[in-house]
Amino acid sequence: MDKTRHIVILKKKAGHGHHGGAWKVAYADFVTAMMSLFIVLWLLNSSKPIQEAVGGYFRDPRGTAAKKGSTQAGTGENLILAKDDMPKLKDQLEQKIRQMNDFEKLKSHVEMTVTSEGLRIELTESASGTFFDSGSPKLNADGRELLVTLAQELGKLPNNLSIEGHTDSKPYAASGNYSNWELSTDRANAARRLMQSNGIRSNQVTQVRGFSDQHLRKLDNPLDPSNRRISLIVQYITRNPDQEDAKPAAPNGERKPAESSALPADNSTRKE
């Protein structure tokens, strides 16, 4: 009887079927981890209001998040700006203005100050006219470019705006009915119309005020050209109770004048 064993070797032919899904799970975990890292890095470099908005959403997706932002949902820039946030807005606007074509010529005529009302943006005139034609409410090219730039940035905010017009103490000729009161008001309205056509909402401007020469920038020199100016005020918004308090300024709040006495205006008149 033959007791020889027959060894049978089975060879499987390699195919091109599925290789399993383990690598997909590992890749998905890797992508998720990278996305989380990028979100954390973004948050670390974001402003405090954005960090509060994101944190509020995760604490209460149906409640807190809606309170942190503005009525224009979905845009990270549309956040409530209270008193503590105004310096950051000031820096952002200054960066935008530096990108303008004639920045070197205009930089000494734009001043931003955080006041009790909000962020005050002063656009001052020169003897030859910086933003308006001399003695006229008509904006020139530089004035239009600057106001359009500001409108595009301020229109992203939920904050209300006030616009003021100011003149120096040089009166118009006595023969006409047009005075510094009309000029200051007309210039403020000209700024409002242009800005509403280029970014700010129709209901964002709550006040347009013409002060003539009643709020001089330089009390000791009533005829100084810088007394002729347009002032834009970005008003404060009160934070929610769970945030730091930021009281809104009174709409007609007065500014404390500089500690200097005004000189009497001379008898010269405007030639326009």
Domain ranges of the chain: 22-68, 80-272
pLDDT at 11: 65
Residue-wise pLDDT tens digits, 84-101: 778 888 888 888 888 877
Residue-wise pLDDT tens digits, 133-188: 888 899 999 899 999 999 998 998 889 999 999 999 998 776 678 899 999 999 99
Give the contacts of 217 (CB within 8 A, at least 6 positions apart): 122, 124, 166, 224, 226, 227, 229
> The domain 80-272: what is its CATH number?
3.30.1330.60
Residue-wise pLDDT tens digits, 39-67: 888 888 877 767 777 776 666 555 433 44
In the sheet that 118-124 helps form, which strands lie side by side, from edge to edge? 110-114, 118-124, 229-235, 161-166, 205-210
